[in-house]
Structure 1
Amino acid sequence: MIDTSQFLADLDRLRQIGTYRTGVHRPTFSPEDMESRRWLVAAMEAVGLEAQIDGIGNVFGRHRGPGPHLLAGSHLETQNQAGWLDGVLGVVAALALARAGLPVDVCAYADEEGHWGDFLGSRSLVGALDEAALDAARNRHDGRPLHEALREVGLAGRERLRLDPGRYKGAFELHIEQGTQLERAGMRIGVVTGIVGIRQWRITITGQQDHTGGTTMAERRDAGLTAVRLLAAVDQEFPGVCAERSVWTTGRILLEPNAPQIIPGRAEITFSFRDLSPEVMDRMEDCLRRVVQESNRRERCPAVLEPIGHTLPSPCDPAMRAALREAAAELCPGAWAEMPSGAIHDSQILARVMPVAMLFVPSIGGISHHWTEDTKREDLALGLEVLAGGARRFLAG
């Protein structure tokens, strides 16, 4: 039987490690993060798993019995001053599956939140993280080398684990939605159809740094104003080419020299868009290129568009989705829906080597990556029960 009481108690215990207001501050390899990893090792051993922390920080609990096996988990670290459920929910749910006797390997994938890089833990597990990438990895906040952090927390020199895809029938991940779709529709469970792809860009605009008072408007080459007009044009044109769940974001604008009395001579924009369909993202990319081309025709400050990241969409496995749908229909008839994941997750990396599926529970107010992030306890428990029901069905199929 699934022990929902112990599941909720484990969530509450981890909430106390790195508490920040009603959320958690537990960045990767911080003392609080390492405390949570050691707690998980002990909890894994208590339910009979063979547990270890590998050389990149993955916490892995291996089922000792015969297969077929499932892999389940998520991540333990958090964004800064963030929520108590993002990632942790999937780890504790996987632990609950193992406690219930299912043939599940449990993993907390290191640094999903990207304090040191992009999906370092899951990329390492699938063989997509080489030594050169490790050497180059730096903390995004203070620039410290990853190798220095690994030495400080006692992980330097440890072996990095590699998954054997042949061991697993598939990988499951339970997660909060991090959006409002379920809550607005009055639904309690979301069976994920797939994880969106992301295309990320750097747009560099070159103007002329000059004096704000002495330079007439006719003479100016203001990179900041060109950046604003270009982004406004993107926002105007994208609705004509996107799909219903497409999103786009200007994550950062850097102006140089970024001083009140100086006309910006350079602007650097980090821009991205997401969708589940490669065809839709192709249309959005074509539109972005046209907008930049038109900006360069009209403006005094030229813009250069450079791709800096391209993540493919990852459809969830049809058989795993069907098992989750059947479990949801039994446990909460009429209160579940299928939906894409607008956020990216470790499951997207695991999908390179094995079938994956995800399950969502509602986020109150859609809030995540903030200390007010929350989900009703009854929805957390239901999510675990649907996950277990789906896992059992898939194993038996």
Structure 2
Amino acid sequence: MVSIDTGRFLADLHELRQIGAYKTGVHRPTYSPQDMESRRWLMDRMAEIGLNPSIDGIGNVYGRHQGPGPHLLAGSHIESQNYAGWLDGALGVVSALALARAGLPVDVCAYADEEGHFEGGFLGSRSIIGDLSEEEIDRSHNRTDGTPLRQALADAGLAGKPRMTLEPGRHKGAFEMHIEQGTQLEKANLRAGVVTGIVAIWQYRIWIDGQQDHAGGTTMDERRDAGLTAIRLLSAVDREFPRVCGPRSTWTTGRITLDPGAPSIIPGQAMILFQFRDIDMTVLERMETTLRALVQESNRNERCKARVETVSRSTPIACDPTMLAALDAAAEACAPSLWQRMPSGAGHDSQYLGRLMPVAMLFTPSIGGVSHHWSEDTREEDLALCCDILGDAAERFLQA
């Protein structure tokens, strides 16, 4: 069994969390000075263990193993959500470093903008498989402050750098370790989760057109209030989706914007950012059909007209059976009866890598299920145990 230096693995995690530290978490939005400092830190760690480090024009940091194969790819992302946790993404990158340090033939990668600070999302993993066009880069802006992606790349010193793509046939498969970001493992008193598949995320903008008018002079009977129509539509979604969803489906209203958004003006337009997730295409299609039917029903009953714009529809992906078997065996060897198979409710870079190669993921428990918040945490003994499981599984898969 491969020997993982879990002490160094934990030390690396704690050293990385000092870059962009915020309370007990981190603030490293994509291409920020803190994010770029963390990428330089990672390249230094790669060089120390004999990998050949590079950074490409979209910000992917890649450490290429210089010995013979077969090779594995391992990693995750290194930027964070705003004022968020220290393990989301970083855990996968630092655990990949630990595999390479143990002598396994692993290429390590930190993919850029998995967290979706810029329109399009998953910029790094999509770019590295050849799925990100120059035209999309031209169109993309920061979701928070509107900065064009081209400007952000230039400010980060990445303008003019070529974007790399994965070498065909180099990798036998890709592993990614990640925190669960939920409570299933903790509630079951388990210490590891072998991920069976990664959900698809289907995202929409729902526009509702009303009539902007005076909040005092316009009677309630005369109003075409886009805000009220938006609330009633979302209430109908929450009432009807449980009838058509799967056991692990989720749906989220991430933003409601009212125009003009003033206290004494009836909203003339509402914009809703809405998404749902599941691992089953049949369920996803059923939920979309229901959403569109509810919009049609709203348009029959309301004074304000609604329309749906599809933003993105990703594809769910199943993890590779041979890699799953390796993770199962490793989990049972390292943590007998303290693990389970489970789906991922979050999106991950692995769902894009899975278009080119076999992929698998391993989850560590999340304390209280908290993630995307600075209080996110996992017990160090669980982090170390799962890194051991990952190393064992990688070795088993290489020999399979």
TM bracket, shorter-chain basis: over 0.9
2:131 to 124, 128, 141: 128
Classify the secondary structure of the residue corresponding to 2:375. coil
Offset, 1:4: 0.2
Classify the secondary structure of the residue corresponding to 1:359. strand
1:233 to 233, 236, 247: 236
Offset, 1:375: 0.3
Distance in 2 (CA, whole Å) between partners of 1:189 and 1:321 is 13
Q: Deviations over 1:153-186 (max 9, x none)?
A: 3222222111013001000000001111111111
Classify the secondary structure of the residue corresponding to 1:166. coil
Distance in 2 (CA, whole Å) between partners of 1:146 and 1:290 is 36
Within 5 Å, give how 1:232-311 maps onto structure 2. Answer: 232-311=235-314
- The equivalent residue for 1:27 is 29
- The equivalent residue for 2:44 is 42
- The equivalent residue for 1:69 is 71
Q: Which runs of 5+ in 1 are unaligned?
A: none
- The equivalent residue for 2:389 is 386
Distance in 1 (CA, whole Å) between partners of 2:206 and 2:87 is 34
- The equivalent residue for 2:184 is 181
Classify the secondary structure of the residue corresponding to 1:41. helix
- The equivalent residue for 2:319 is 316
- The equivalent residue for 2:154 is 151
Matched residue type, 2:16: L
Classify the secondary structure of the residue corresponding to 1:95. helix
Q: Are 2:153 and 1:139 equivalent residues in the alignment?
A: no
- The equivalent residue for 1:81 is 83
Query: Which moves more between the two structures, 226-235 or 150-159?
Result: 150-159
Distance in 1 (CA, whole Å) between partners of 2:290 and 2:254 is 19
Distance in 2 (CA, whole Å) between partners of 1:272 and 1:155 is 32
Q: Which runs of 5+ in 2 are unaligned?
A: none
Matched residue type, 1:164: E
Identity of aligned residues (%): 67
- The equivalent residue for 2:196 is 193
Matched residue type, 1:273: F
Distance in 2 (CA, whole Å) between partners of 1:200 and 1:150 is 26
Across the aligned residues of Structure 1 and Structure 2, the Cα RMSD in angstroms comes to: 1.1
Distance in 2 (CA, whole Å) between partners of 1:34 and 1:226 is 43
Distance in 1 (CA, whole Å) between partners of 2:98 and 2:40 is 17
TM-score, normalised on structure 1?
Answer: 0.98
Offset, 1:264: 1.3
Q: Are 2:378 and 1:365 equivalent residues in the alignment?
A: no
Query: Which moves more between the two structures, 137-146 or 20-29?
Result: 137-146
Offset, 1:227: 0.9
Q: Deviations over 1:320-343 (max 9, x none)?
A: 111101111111111111111111
Matched residue type, 1:65: G
Contact 1:191 / 1:321 at 8 angstroms: preserved in 2? yes
2:103 to 97, 101, 104: 101
Offset, 1:52: 1.0
Classify the secondary structure of the residue corresponding to 1:198. strand
Classify the secondary structure of the residue corresponding to 1:165. coil
Contact 1:165 / 1:354 at 8 angstroms: preserved in 2? no
Aligned residues: 397
Classify the secondary structure of the residue corresponding to 2:240. helix
Query: Which moves more between the two structures, 87-96 or 45-54?
Result: 45-54
Matched residue type, 1:237: E
Query: Which moves more between the two structures, 77-86 or 254-263?
Result: 254-263
